[in-house]
Amino acid sequence: MTPPAPRFLPVTPIEVSARIGATIVQIAAARGVEVGALVRETGFDPSRATDPDARIPIEVETALWDGAARLLGDPWFGLRSAALLRPGAFDVLDYAVRTAPTLRAALDRLVRYNRLVHSAAVFHVEDRAGRLRIEHAFAVAGRAPTRHASEFTLASIIVIGSQISNTPLAALAVELPAQPPDGDRAIYEQAFGVMPRFGAAVGALELAREAVDRACPAADPMLSDVILRQADALLAARPDPRETLGNRLRRQLTLQLGEGEVSLAAAARRLKMSERSLQRRLAAEGLAFDTLLEGVRHELALRYLADPKLAIGEVAYLLGYSEPSAFHRAFKRWTGATPAEARVRAA
């Protein structure tokens, strides 16, 4: 299967979460770097990491990687740093990944939510015969992750995958864009379980399907639901420039239902455009507001009804209906069954 052609972002400054910068500083400090020297050299302010919305230019992140590697005299600083990762390093994204029921689900969440910490980095996951391929690149023409960042990111998948599955994880294959520094390359095999191929077009690793499909023993479904709701809310507030208006509206409606007014006017206000502009741009994508709203309600209804703890009247409220009877009529129109009948069938 050929991966889809990349859709490049406009030429805009690349920003990353200040938590990434703080993580680099913390790992460097744990390995003996004098934090003051690193901060003075790079201009990074560690106190900014207390604000989950704080962003730093990617040039500062790169300076932190390079500065820490130079101060330590360790050309493999990025690769070695992955082994020191602990839960919470990347805030909501980290917990969304770590509460997934399987490593495959964790990777799907990484693909979906990575924009919470990086404006340009994207992951592509592709099923192949007996294995799963994960690619890491930038969706910005002419830009790519630096060597330290690329090696750290791919090694982190191995480290976190081993932590959440409670089983040592090794790659079947690894591809790295940069050539390695002079020295003993055995460190790569120690990190990945296999010697990488260097000089590749993009960073990538491949994992065995049985490894990624294995259940994560510490997965907490209830905590996972809470984390995903928070991640979705944060993602909605940080729209992807490549995303279609229809998908942006679907996410806005998902948040808006059950919280108050659900209307074209309210959606237009949230998207910061006029009602006429919203209708016109939806029509250009072959969509209509009422149809999208129905689709979102249908999808959420099936999800909510699968939870036996939610009463059917509560489901109606969560979907923005003022009366349960209106929800019953709509659900019967969508599925040919009543909500109670659908719940019994799904049990």
Contact 105, 113 (CB under 8 A): no
pLDDT tens, N- to C-terminus, the chain (347 residues): 444 444 444 445 899 999 999 999 999 999 999 999 999 999 999 888 888 889 999 999 999 999 999 999 999 999 999 999 999 999 999 999 999 999 999 999 999 999 999 999 999 999 888 899 999 999 887 789 999 999 999 999 999 999 999 999 999 999 999 999 998 899 999 999 999 999 999 999 999 999 999 999 988 899 999 999 999 888 877 766 666 788 888 878 887 786 667 889 988 988 888 999 999 999 988 999 999 999 999 988 988 888 888 899 999 988 988 889 999 999 999 999 999 998 888 66
pTM, rounded to two decimals: 0.70
Q: Hey, what amino acid is at 338?
A: T
* pLDDT of the residue at 242: 63
Round to whole Å and give the CA distance between 99 and 18. Answer: 23
Contacts of 320 (CB under 8 A, 6+ apart): 256, 257, 258, 262, 297
In this predicted model, what pLDDT tens digit does every residue of 88-133 receive, in sequence order?
999 999 999 999 999 999 999 999 999 999 999 999 999 888 899 9
pLDDT for 7 equals 43
Q: How do strand 203-208 and strand 131-138 relate by DSSP bridges?
A: antiparallel
Identify the pLDDT of residue 5. Answer: 43
Domain residues of the chain, as ranges? 15-212, 244-346
Residue range 263-312, pLDDT digits in tens: 899 889 888 889 999 999 999 889 999 999 999 999 889 888 888 888 99
Level-2 CATH architecture, domain 15-212: Alpha-Beta Complex (3.90)
Q: What is the pLDDT of residue 260?
A: 65
CATH of 244-346, one of 2.70.70.10, 2.40.170.20, 2.60.40.10, 1.10.10.60: 1.10.10.60
Residues 6+ away with beta carbon under 8 Å from 91: 17, 19, 52, 116, 117
Please give the pLDDT value at position 1: 42
